[in-house]
Amino acid sequence: MVNDLLTSYVESRTVDATLSLHQGEATLTMVHDLPVDRARAWDLICDPELSAGWSPIVADRRLDQVGPATSRETPDAEPVDAEVLLAEPPRELMHRWGQDVLSWSLTGTADGTRVTLRQVLSDATEASSLAAGWHLCLAGLEARAAGHDVHRPVGSEAGRYGWEQLRDGYDVLFAQQQH
């Protein structure tokens, strides 16, 4: 069952996550390895037809060129600014997501690609919630990269995949990192 597959990815994969605070700016960093080369990882991130299955950022165009863009988490959601600020295929992507700025770095590894996501947060109090959401999304990205047809849980559906427990775990982790 597809949902069981996503659950296994969520439960069995670790995401290296940190929250850094510097001069009043909070940055969430999450690192996750994918079993595909950088070109495929780049497509999974930049192509809205592919990102729709795992990402809350589903753009109105490919995110591989600098310029204006909008995104919607679901087809009926309000549009959100997703302007691409930097695009260096298949290595670096920086874009807005509402008030936040996201940077994606893709580095080749022996087994595929290491994806490093940095999100400069407009509201640091949302760090654990965002980390929990990205944990689910990155599990979905990995499953997609492995060729599985999973779909990102949206809204209350995320709770069935352990979103609350992930958020609470990230609360503890980030509190430890700040001391």
Q: Is the pLDDT of residue 125 over 90?
A: yes
| Percent with pLDDT over 90 in the chain | 77
Cis peptide before 48 (omega within 30 of 0): no
The band of 1, judged by pLDDT with boundaries at 50, 70 and 90, is very low
Statement: residue 5 has pLDDT above 80: no
Q: How many domains does the chain have?
A: 1
Residue 3 pLDDT > 50:
yes
- Report DSSP letters for 60-114, one per residue: SS-SSSSB--EEESSTTSPPEE--EEEEETTTEEEEEETTEEEEEEEEEETTEEE
- Per-residue pLDDT tens digits for 158-174: 888 889 999 999 999 99
- pLDDT band with cut points at 50, 70 and 90 for residue 178: confident
Cα distance between residue 52 and residue 114, in whole Å = 21
Average pLDDT of the chain, as a whole number: 92
- Any idea what the CATH number is for the domain that residue 99 is in? 3.30.530.20
Lowest mean pLDDT among 8-22, 94-108, 118-132, 139-153: 8-22
Taking 90 as the threshold, does the pLDDT of residue 67 lie above it? yes
Residue ranges making up the domain that contains 148:
2-177
